């Protein structure tokens, strides 16, 4: 079954809406590249739209009524938004779920070192990356440093026009004979992804005349590691930190620079973190676009740690989602474990994660009839996983039929796909985790070129169709299809 490009159906009004969404998306992902930034910005937008803190509502002993809008966050890295519907929660929720972490380099806890007159930051890569893609490109540092006195300092260096940037160096081609014979996975070792941050020594007047016992720690360091000493001096002046504060820091290394229009026709966007911002952002916008009280409570879940298995306190495998739903039900007068279980089992969810866009340069790893094509709309993956569907959620036929009806009724351009040929590889999402509650779950998202590269590519048309599809789902997903059919 062939699908058609979405571009052919747009009138001028639709094109204006599409370009407005794309422009806002470019700004949003350029300014919020890591999960902490995304969560914070999402909460700010929601509060401006009338959302209030769920746990504050709980602490104040208030009840929730249809039309109320609340959010909950955990550890600053995961957030859930809920727009309370007119129906009892025990009848089920309409849920969008996406992740807001992306592949990157993380600084190690003891990262700063000097070697042969150059200062570097040692890293440990996060998520699935091709190591060689991260060399020689401008990099920025994002994250936080937590001090022993409780102060938490935000770090963002490399994005403003006047900021310096950083890089991982590569071997010059003139001396790369042996390197060029290596497999792609070995061209650059993970342990060698050291970020270059300095090359100038600290010079302290009068320090040479002092006895060692009279020198400060910085002066002693300047004797042995003068470039590292200058880097620490600059960090101390800017952030008021010392080297030991790296032990309680979370600094992420990401590509520096803004997302931008791609192509003569400006039909695409190149940027960092489309996986999974290209789904998390339209999910958030769709949630906030609900201008009337929905029948079923509408929920958007934005979680962390998907790229490393959805683990930890901020991943989908944690109890965060279940705990929040339990509080929602308590404040609606529907508390109790059995009601919670019934509500979860009766819910419907779109696991909003990106899909592999068909790339004609690498056509051999795709099966054309079951591939996702750029600009052909929102992608539904009945199952993901690897090879024999290992690690996948497999949506039921009844649920897929219901999704088809919702999308057609809302005039959403959509397609179905698998992640490449059967034995070519595969991948996973958060879908299998909420599915454990018996709820209907299917993967849906935006096709991406160069997925997990520092710079990825999406189509503006697919982003727009994802937003439309997510909004239609929140309004119209209806009851669960889990009951057996005659």
The 10s digit of each residue's pLDDT in 301-352 is 999 999 999 999 999 999 999 999 999 999 999 999 999 999 999 999 999 9
Does the reported pTM lie above 0.75? yes
Residues 325 and 409 in one domain: yes
Local structure of 349: helix, strand or coil: strand
Task: Take residue 237 and report the two structure tokens written for it.
Answer: 């002046």
Q: Pick the closest to residue 372 from 465, 477, 468, 262 (CA basis).
A: 465
Q: Pick the closest to residue 125 from 136, 112, 135, 113 (CA basis).
A: 135
Residue 222, in any domain of the structure: yes
Task: Take residue 124 and report the two structure tokens written for it.
Answer: 């440990």
The pLDDT of residue 206 is 65
* Distance from the first to the final alpha carbon of the chain: 29
Q: Backbone phi, then psi, for 269, in 5-degree steps?
A: -130, 130
Paired sense of beta strands 348-352 and 94-99, if any: parallel
Residues 290 and 306 in one domain: yes
Residues 129 and 166 in one domain: yes
Residues 409 and 325 in one domain: yes
Which residue shows structure tokens 């991982």? 168
Residues 205 and 165 in one domain: yes
Residues 80 and 119 in one domain: no
Report the sign of the C-alpha dihedral through residues 339, 55, 35, 22, in that order.
Answer: positive
- Mean of pLDDT values over 277-281: 98
Grade residue 228 by pLDDT with cuts at 50, 70 and 90: very high
Residue 267, in any domain of the structure: no
Residues 58 and 151 in one domain: no
Residue 261, in any domain of the structure: no
Residue 466, in any domain of the structure: yes
Residue 98, in any domain of the structure: yes
Total count of domains within the chain: 2
- Mean of pLDDT values over 47-61: 97
Q: Provide the mean pLDDT of the chain.
A: 94
Chosen domain end from 255, 284, 304: 255
Residue 481, in any domain of the structure: no
Local structure of 449: helix, strand or coil: strand
CB atoms within 10 A of CB 479: 15
- Are 298 and 70 contacting, i.e. CB atoms less than 8 angstroms apart? no
Specify the CATH number for the domain of residue 323. Answer: 3.40.630.10
Residues 79 and 153 in one domain: no
Specify the CATH number for the domain of residue 140. Answer: 2.30.250.10
Residue 228, in any domain of the structure: yes
In sequence order, the 6+-apart residues with CB closer than 8 A to the CB of 17 are 464
Domain residue limits at 190: 104-255
Chosen domain end from 222, 255, 288: 255
Q: What span, in angstroms and rounded, lies between the C-alpha atoms of 73 and 81?
A: 9
Residues 240 and 388 in one domain: no
Helix 320-331 with 337-345: angle, nearest 10 deg:
110
The pLDDT of residue 415 is 97
Q: Backbone phi, then psi, for 415, in 5-degree steps?
A: -145, 165
* DSSP letter assigned to residue 434: G
Local structure of 53: helix, strand or coil: strand
Element (H or E) spanning 139, and its range? strand 139-146
Element (H or E) spanning 83, and its range? strand 78-83
Residues 457 and 317 in one domain: yes
Residues 328 and 422 in one domain: yes
Task: Please list, residue by residue across 245-268, b when 16 or more beta carbons sit within 10 angstroms of its beta carbon and e when fewer do.
Answer: bbeebbbbbbbbbebebbeeeebb
Q: What span, in angstroms and rounded, lies between the C-alpha atoms of 449 and 271?
A: 11
Residues 346 and 398 in one domain: yes
- The tens digit of pLDDT for each residue in 398-419 reads 999 999 999 999 999 999 999 8
For residue 485, pLDDT over 60 is answered with no
Chosen domain end from 255, 286, 301: 255
- Mean of pLDDT values over 174-197: 96
Residue 482, in any domain of the structure: no
């Amino acid at each position: 079954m062939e699908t058609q490009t979405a571009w052919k159906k747009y009138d001028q009004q639709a094109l204006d809406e599409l370009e407005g969404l794309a422009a806002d998306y470019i700004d949003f992902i350029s300014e919020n590249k890591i999960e902490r930034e995304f969560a914070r910005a999402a909460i700010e937008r929601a509060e401006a739209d009338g959302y209030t803190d769920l746990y504050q509502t709980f602490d104040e002993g208030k009840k929730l009524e249809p039309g109320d809008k609340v959010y909950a966050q955990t550890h600053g890295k995961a957030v859930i938004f809920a727009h309370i519907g007119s129906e009892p929660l025990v009848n089920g929720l309409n849920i969008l779920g996406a992740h807001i972490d992306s592949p990157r380099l993380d600084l190690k806890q003891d990262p700063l070192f000097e070697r042969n007159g150059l200062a570097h930051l040692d890293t440990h890569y996060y998520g699935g990356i091709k190591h060689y893609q991260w060399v020689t490109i401008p990099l920025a540092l994002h994250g936080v440093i937590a001090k022993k006195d409780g102060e938490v300092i935000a770090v963002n260096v490399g994005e403003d026009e006047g900021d310096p940037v950083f890089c991982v160096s590569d071997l010059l081609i003139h001396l790369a004979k042996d390197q060029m014979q290596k497999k792609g996975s070995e061209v650059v070792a993970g342990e060698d992804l050291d970020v270059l941050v300095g090359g100038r020594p600290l010079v302290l007047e009068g320090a040479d005349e002092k006895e060692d016992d009279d020198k400060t720690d910085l002066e002693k360091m300047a004797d042995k590691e003068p470039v590292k000493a200058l880097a620490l001096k600059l960090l101390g002046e800017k952030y008021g930190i010392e080297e030991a504060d790296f032990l309680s820091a979370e600094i992420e290394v990401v590509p520096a620079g803004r997302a931008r229009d791609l192509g003569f026709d400006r039909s695409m966007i190149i940027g960092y973190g489309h996986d999974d911002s290209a789904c998390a952002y339209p999910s958030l916008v769709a949630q906030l676009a609900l201008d009337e009280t929905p029948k079923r409570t509408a929920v958007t879940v934005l979680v962390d740690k998907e790229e490393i298995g959805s683990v930890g306190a901020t991943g989908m495998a944690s109890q965060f989602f279940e705990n929040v739903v339990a509080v929602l039900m308590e404040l609606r007068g529907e508390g109790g474990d059995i009601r919670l279980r019934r509500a979860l089992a009766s819910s419907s969810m779109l696991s909003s994660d990106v899909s592999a866009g068909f790339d004609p340069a690498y056509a051999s790893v795709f099966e054309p009839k079951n591939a996702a094509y750029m600009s052909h709309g929102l992608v539904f993956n009945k199952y993901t996983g690897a090879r024999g569907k290992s690690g996948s959620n497999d949506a039921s036929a009844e649920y897929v039929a219901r999704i088809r009806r919702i999308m057609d009724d809302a005039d959403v351009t959509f397609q179905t796909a698998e992640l490449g040929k059967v034995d070519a590889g595969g991948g996973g999402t958060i879908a299998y985790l909420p599915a454990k509650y018996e709820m209907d779950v299917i993967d849906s998202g935006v096709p991406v070129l160069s997925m997990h590269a520092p710079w990825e590519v999406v189509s503006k048309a697919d982003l727009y169709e994802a937003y439309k599809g997510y909004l239609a789902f929140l309004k119209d997903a209806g009851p669960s299809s889990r009951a057996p059919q005659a």
